[in-house]
Amino acid sequence: MAKLGFLGLGLMGYPMARNLLRAGHEVAVWSHTTDKARKLAAEEKGTFCATPKDVAAQADVVFLCVGDTAMAQEVILGADGVIQGARSGAVVVDCSTIAVAESRQIGAALKAKGVDFLDAPVTGSTPGAESGNLTFMIGGDEVVFNRIRPLLDPMGKKIYFCGGAGMGLQAKLTQNLILSNILMAFNEGMVLATKGGVDPTLMLEILDNSAAKSGLISYKAPFVFSRNFTTNFSVKWMFKDIGLMLESGEDLGVPLYLTGLTRQLFQTAIAAGHGEEDICSTIKVLEDLTGTTVAPKK
Amino acid sequence: MAKLGFLGLGLMGYPMARNLLRAGHEVAVWSHTTDKARKLAAEEKGTFCATPKDVAAQADVVFLCVGDTAMAQEVILGADGVIQGARSGAVVVDCSTIAVAESRQIGAALKAKGVDFLDAPVTGSTPGAESGNLTFMIGGDEVVFNRIRPLLDPMGKKIYFCGGAGMGLQAKLTQNLILSNILMAFNEGMVLATKGGVDPTLMLEILDNSAAKSGLISYKAPFVFSRNFTTNFSVKWMFKDIGLMLESGEDLGVPLYLTGLTRQLFQTAIAAGHGEEDICSTIKVLEDLTGTTVAPKK
Amino acid sequence: MAKLGFLGLGLMGYPMARNLLRAGHEVAVWSHTTDKARKLAAEEKGTFCATPKDVAAQADVVFLCVGDTAMAQEVILGADGVIQGARSGAVVVDCSTIAVAESRQIGAALKAKGVDFLDAPVTGSTPGAESGNLTFMIGGDEVVFNRIRPLLDPMGKKIYFCGGAGMGLQAKLTQNLILSNILMAFNEGMVLATKGGVDPTLMLEILDNSAAKSGLISYKAPFVFSRNFTTNFSVKWMFKDIGLMLESGEDLGVPLYLTGLTRQLFQTAIAAGHGEEDICSTIKVLEDLTGTTVAPKK
Amino acid sequence: MAKLGFLGLGLMGYPMARNLLRAGHEVAVWSHTTDKARKLAAEEKGTFCATPKDVAAQADVVFLCVGDTAMAQEVILGADGVIQGARSGAVVVDCSTIAVAESRQIGAALKAKGVDFLDAPVTGSTPGAESGNLTFMIGGDEVVFNRIRPLLDPMGKKIYFCGGAGMGLQAKLTQNLILSNILMAFNEGMVLATKGGVDPTLMLEILDNSAAKSGLISYKAPFVFSRNFTTNFSVKWMFKDIGLMLESGEDLGVPLYLTGLTRQLFQTAIAAGHGEEDICSTIKVLEDLTGTTVAPKK
C-alpha cells in the first residue's frame, strides 16, 4: 500500500480521501476546515496534518481537491504549501477544476523541485465521489500517469489520459462548456414549449426520442418538473467554471460566442438570487419573466 | 383503403407519398415540380393532378409537405389551392415546418369551409421518410387526429399528439431550438478542445460517457472527424427553422437569448458559403478563424 | 398648390398632414380611425375620404404613414387600396417604416400601373412632426424625388436622398440599429457605474466629454435620472424596427450579432411589462435585477 | 516645485512624465525598458532610477502608468516595488487601467504602510498625453486628491473626482464599455447599409445629424472610409479592458449581455489577425465575411 496525502476535504475531497483510506492506503490529510481533517483521521485511521507542507513531507503521492485556482496556488506553492515539504520524486495529483494556464505554472514550479504534477479534474459530483464512480480526465507526463494509475481505482471507474500538462482540465472544461450551453438551450426551449401549451412531460418524451436527446436534459428535467432545486452542482460553481472556459478560449484565441452569453445568463441567475441553488434553477429566471412554470399540469 | 392526396414531393414528401401508395392507399399527387408527380404516379400507380385543388377534389385526407410558410399558404389557400376543391368533412394534414401563427390561420380558414386541419411536422429526414420511420408531432382536434391516426403508420413509427392547433409545430420547433443550440455548443467546445491539444476522438468518447452526451453530437461528430459534410439537413433549412422559433418566441413573449445569437451564427455560416451544406459544416467557420481542424491526428 | 393625399393619421401622420394643409395644399385624407380624418378635414379644410382608393383618385401625390408592413400593403394594394384609384403618373410617398423587401414589392406593383413610389421613412418623432422638423430618408427614382422634393418642406428640414428603391428604409433601419444597440450599451454601463458607486450625473458628464458621447445618451439619460419614462418612442415600436433590421440582414446575408441579442433584450423588457413605455425604460430590467436605481442620490 | 516619481514610460507614460518635467518638477523616473528612462532623464533633466523602490525613496508623489494589473502589482508591491521604498505620507497615483478589485487591494496594502493611493486612469491616448490634454477619472480619498490635484495640470485638462477607491477605474471602464459596444453597433450598421447600397459617406452624414450621432463614430468612420487602420487604440488593448469590465460586472453582480458578446467579437478580430491594429479594424471581420468594403464608391 502506498503512502498518500490528501488536501482539501470538501464535498468531493472528503469521500475521495475516505475511499483511499478504506482501500488500505496510508493517507495523511489536511483541510482548510481543520475539523474535517480531524474527523476523517479519527474515523478512518488517517493521519491528521496541520499544513499541506506536513502532508507532503510524508507522502509519495499527494492528491488535492480545492475550490479554485487561488486556493490551489496557496495550498501547493504557499508558505506552508506542498512545495515546501514534498520530496523529490513525489507526485502531486490535482483533482481541482482550475485555470489551465495557472495549473501549468503550478506544475512547472513543482517540476523545478523534482516533483511531478498531473492535472486530474473529476466529474460525477458527490454521489460519484462517495461510491467511487468518478470520471478522471488527466493531463501531464504519461509515464507518471501510468505509475499512479492504480491509485485512482478506489475513487473512479472511468479514467481518461488526455495528453500533456493541462489537457485534463481542457477536457473537463470542454465538457462543462457543452453542458452549460445545453442547459440554457433547455431553459429556452422548455419555457417556449410550456408557454405555447405543450405539456413539458410530453415534450421531454419527444426530446428523449430524438437527436435532441441529452444526458443532462433527461437527468435534470424531472427535477424541474417536480420543482426540486436541491443543489447538486450550484449555479455559482458552474459560473466559475464558465469563467475558466473563457480564459482558456482567450489563451488559445478561440471566440466562444454562446459561452460568453451563457456566462451572463448565469450571472443573471445569480443576481436573481439562485447562486447557491442547483444549475437547473437557472430556468426560474425565464419562468418568472414570462409567468410560466415548467411543470406538468395537475 | 382510403382516398388520399399528397402535395409537395420533395426530399421528404416523395418517399412519404410513396409509402402511402405502397401501403395500398389511393393517392392523388401534385407537386410544384410536375415531373416528380408524373414519375410517382407512373411508378407507384398514383393519380397525377395538375393542381392542389384537383387533389383535394378527390381525397378524404390531404397530406402536405412543402418548404415554407408562404408555400403552404399558396398550396392551401391560393387560387388553385386545396380550399377551392376540398369537400366538407375532409382533413388536411400539414407535415411542413411552418410558422405557428400562420398555421393556425390556415386551419381557421379551412374550418370555415368545413374542412379539418392538423399541423403534423415530422423529424427523421430523408432516411426516416424512406424507411417509414419518421416521428410525427401533431396539433389540432384530438378526435380528428384519432380518425386519421392509422394512415400515418406507413410513414412513421413515433406519433405524438401534442395538443390543440399549432402544438405539433411548437414541439417540433422546440426540438430544433435545442438541437441548433447544442450544435453551436459542440462547435465551440470541440474547437476549443482540439486547439488546446485534446484529441477530438477522445473528447467525443469522454462526452459520450458523461452528462454532456447528446444524440446530435454522437451522431454528427464522426462526420466532422471524417470531413464528410454531405447534406442531411442544410444550414439554410435550420436557419429558416430558427427564424420560426424566434417568431414563436415573439408571439408568446418569450425572450430566446441563445437562439437569437445562434441564428446570427447560422447567418455567418451562410455568409461563409456553407448554406447548402449540412448543419455540421457550421463548425468550419470557427475552424477557419482559429486555424483548427476538428479531426483526429493522423 | 398641389393636389395631395394623406393616408394614416396617427401620432406622426396627423401633424404631418396638418402641416401640408397649413402650407396651402389641397389634401384628401383617410385614416383607419375615421374620426381622425373627419376631425382634420373639418379643422384644417382637408377633404375627408372613406377609402385610400378615394384619396388616390383625387391626388397627384399620396403620402402614407402607417404602423407596419401589413398595413402598408393593405392600404396600397388592398381591395380599397391606393392602387385601385391612383392615376397614371401619380406618386406614392411612403413615410412608414416597413420591411425593405416588401416596400420594393409595393413599389413594383404600383409601377406596373404607371404609378411612381418612393420609400421615405422619417425620424424626429411627434415633436418633429408637429414642428415640421422631421428628417426624411428617401429611396427610389431620383427624378421622381426631385419632382416631389418641394412638397416635403412643410414637414421636414433635413431631406436625404439615399439611392434606389428601399434605400431610404435601409438608412432609417441602420440608424435605428445603431440607436437600439447604443441604448443597451448605455443601460449596461450606467447600471454598472451606479452599482459601483459612481454618481450617474457625474458619469453622464464624463461621457458627454468623451468619445463615448452620444446624442441618444445625452438626450435620454436625464429622463432616466428623473424617472420619467413617458413614451416618446415605445419599446414595442423599436422592437418591431429591430425585427425589420434583422430581416434586412437576412436578405443581404449580413450577420448582426449585437442586434440579434438586443432584440431579445427588448423582448425581455416587453415580457417585464415595459412594452408601451419609452425605450429608455429598458434600463429597468437591469435595475430591478441588480437592485439599482440609475438616479442621483438625494 | 514638488518631488515626483514616474513609473512606466510607454506610449502614455513617456509624454506624461515629460510634461511634468517641463512644468518644472523634479521627477525620478523608472521604466521596464531601461533605455526609455535613461533617455527621458538625459533629455529632460529627470533622475534615472534602476527600480520603482528607488523612485519611491525620493518622491512625495509617485505616478504610475503600466499595461495591466499584474504589472501594477509587481511595480507597487513587488520585491523592488514602490512599497519597499515609499515614505509614510507619500501618495501613489495609478494612471493605469487595471482591475477595480486588485486596485483596491494595492491601495489597502499601501495604506497599511502609511502611503496614500489614488486610482487615476486616463483617456485621450497618445496625442492627449503629448499635448497635456488627458482626461483623468480619479478614485480614493478626496482630501488626498485635492492635495495632488494641481500636479495634474501639466498632463490633463479635464479632471473628474469620481468617489472612493476604485471609482476612477469604474468610470473609465464604463466609458470604454459604452465605446466598445458602440463600435460593434457601428460595424453592424455600416456593413448592413453599405451592403444594401447606401453610400457610407451619406450614411455617416445622416447619423451625424441624428440621435445616433456618436463621438466615436464621427471620429472613426473617416479612418474606415479611407482604409486607414493605423493603431490609435489597439484591438488587444480594448479586449483587455473589456475583460476588466466583465470582472467588474462579476464583482458587482451585474450581467453585461452585450459586453459579453462584444468581447467575443473582439476575440474574433484578434483570431482574424487584427489584434495589433486599431479598434476600428474590427469592422474588417464583417466586411470580409460579407464581401463588403465600407468605403465610398470611386
Has residue A139 got a pLDDT over 90?
yes
- Of the partner residues A261, A272, A290, the one whose CB lies closest to the CB of residue C289: A272
- Across the interface, whether the CB atoms of C253 and B260 are under 8 A apart is answered no
Instruction: Return the pLDDT at D2.
Output: 87
Give the ranges where chain C is alpha helix by DSSP (H).
Answer: 13-22, 34-44, 52-57, 69-77, 82-85, 100-111, 125-131, 142-148, 167-195, 200-208, 215-225, 235-252, 257-271, 283-290
Residue-averaged pLDDT of chain C: 97
Q: Which of A36, A53, A172, A284 is catalytic?
A: A172
Cβ atoms of residues D86 and D63 within 8 Å: no
Compute the count of residue pairs across chains B and C with CB atoms less than 8 Å apart: 42
Chain A residues 214-243 with a CB less than 8 Å from chain B:
214-217, 219
Confidence of residue A1 (pLDDT cuts 50, 70, 90): confident
pLDDT in the model for residue D282? 98
CA distance A49 to chain D (A): 31
Contacts of D236 (CB under 8 A, 6+ apart): D270, D275, D276
**Distance between CA B203 and CA B196 in Å, rounded?**
11
Q: Which of C260, C267, C268 minimises the CB distance to B264?
A: C260
Query: Which chain D positions have a beta carbon within 8 Å of C196's beta carbon?
Result: 100, 166-167, 170, 174, 248, 252
Segments of chain B with pLDDT less than 50: none
Out of D111, D113, D157, D172, pick the active-site residue: D172
Query: Is the minimum CB–CB distance between A197 and chain D shorter than 8 Å?
Result: no
Cα separation, D298 vs D289, whole angstroms? 22
With contact defined as 3+ CB pairs under 8 Å, the chains touching C are A, B, D
What letters, b where the CB count within 10 A reaches 16 and e where it falls short, cover C272-282? bebbebbbbbb
Q: Which chains touch A (3 or more CB pairs under 8 A)?
A: B, C, D
Task: Number of A to C CB contacts under 8 A, please give it.
Answer: 10
> Which ipTM score applies to this complex?
0.96
Distance from CA of D45 to the nearest CA of B (A): 49
Chain B CB within 8 Å of residue A158 CB:
yes
Q: Looking at beta carbons, which residues of chain C come within 8 Å of B261?
A: 257, 260-261
B192–A254: do the CB atoms touch at under 8 Å?
yes
Window 15-44 of B: residues touching A by CB (8 A cutoff) are none
- Point out the residues of C that are catalytic: 172
Answer whether C264 sits within 8 Å of B257, measured CB to CB: yes
pLDDT tens, C183-228? 999 999 999 999 999 999 999 999 999 999 999 999 999 999 999 9
pLDDT at B298: 67
Helical H runs in chain B? 13-22, 34-44, 52-57, 69-77, 82-85, 100-111, 125-131, 142-148, 167-195, 200-208, 215-225, 235-252, 257-271, 283-290
Length of chain D: 298
Q: Nearest-CA neighbor of C264 among B263, B50, D155?
A: B263
pLDDT at A297: 81
Beta strands in chain A (DSSP E): 3-7, 26-30, 47-48, 61-64, 91-94, 116-119, 122-123, 134-139, 156-163
**Which one of A268, A274, A282, A287 makes the best mutation probe of the C interface by having the most chain C beta carbons within 10 Å?**
A268
Q: What mean pLDDT comes out for the span C232-243? A: 96
Domains and CATH numbers, chain C: 3-164 (3.40.50.720), 170-290 (1.10.1040.10)
| Residue (of D185, D198, D295) closest to C171 by Cα position | D198
Contact C271 A257 (CB under 8 A): no
CB contact under 8 A, D167 and C198: yes
Q: What local confidence, expressed as pLDDT, does residue D298 receive?
A: 67
What pLDDT does D297 receive? 81
Best of A172, A174, A202, A294 to disrupt the B interface by mutation (most B CBs within 10 Å)?
A174
- Residue B170 has its nearest CB partner, among A196, A255, A292, at A196
Q: What is the pLDDT of residue A298?
A: 67
Predicted local distance difference test score (pLDDT) of residue C5: 98
Q: Round to the nearest angstrom and report the end-to-end CA distance of chain C.
A: 57
Contacts of D243 in chain A (CB under 8 A): 250
- Tell me the residue type at D168: G
Q: Is the pLDDT of residue C131 over 90?
A: yes
pLDDT reading at C1 higher than 90: no
Q: What is the mean pLDDT of residues A219-241?
A: 96
Chain-centre distance for alpha carbon C56:
23
CA dihedral (C99, C101, C107, C110) positive or negative: negative
DSSP letters of A176-225?
HHHHHHHHHHHHHHHHHHHHTT--HHHHHHHHHTSTT-BHHHHHHHHHHH
Nearest 10 degrees: Cα torsion A15, A20, A26, A28: -40
- Residues A250-283: tens digit of each pLDDT: 999 999 999 999 999 999 999 999 999 999 999 9
- For residue A184 the three cell numbers come to 440554457
Q: Do A173 and B192 touch (CB under 8 A)?
A: yes
Q: How far apart are CA B42 and CA B30, in angstroms?
A: 13
Cβ separation C267–B261 shorter than 8 A: no
Q: Which of B285, B288, B289, B292 should one mutate to test binding to chain D, selecting the residue with the greatest count of D CBs within 10 A?
A: B289
- On whether the CB atoms of residues C192 and D249 are closer than 8 A, the answer is yes
Average pLDDT over residues D51-64: 97
- The single-letter DSSP state of residue D279 is G
**Three-state DSSP class for residue C207:** helix
Say which amino acid occupies B280.
C
Helix (H) or strand (E) holding A169: helix A167-195
The span from the CA of D277 to the CA of C122, in Å, is 37
pLDDT digits (tens, 9 = 90+) for D105-140: 999 999 999 999 999 999 998 899 999 999 999 999
Contact A250 D264 (CB under 8 A): no
Q: D84 pLDDT exceeds 70?
A: yes
pLDDT score for C246? 98
Which secondary structure element, helix H or strand E, spans residue D79, and what is its range? Answer: none
pLDDT given at position A126: 87
Q: Which residues pair with D123 in a beta bridge?
A: D135
Distance separating alpha carbons of residues A76 and A79, to the nearest angstrom: 9
Kindly tell me if the per-residue pLDDT of D1 is higher than 90: no
The nearest alpha carbon in chain A to B220 belongs to: A211
pLDDT at A2 over 90: no
CB-based contact (8 Å) between C260 and chain A? no
Separation of alpha carbons A45 and A160, rounded Å: 30
pLDDT for res B1 = 75
| Cα–Cα–Cα angle for D84, D85, D91, rounded to 5 degrees | 105
Extract the C-alpha cell encoding B191: 474547437
Q: Which distant-in-sequence residues (6+ apart) come within 8 Å of C56 by Cβ?
A: C5, C62, C81, C82, C83, C84, C85, C86, C87, C90
Asked if the model's pLDDT at residue C298 lies above 90, the reply is no
State the best of D187, D268, D285, D292 to mutate against chain B, taking most chain B CBs within 10 Å.
D268
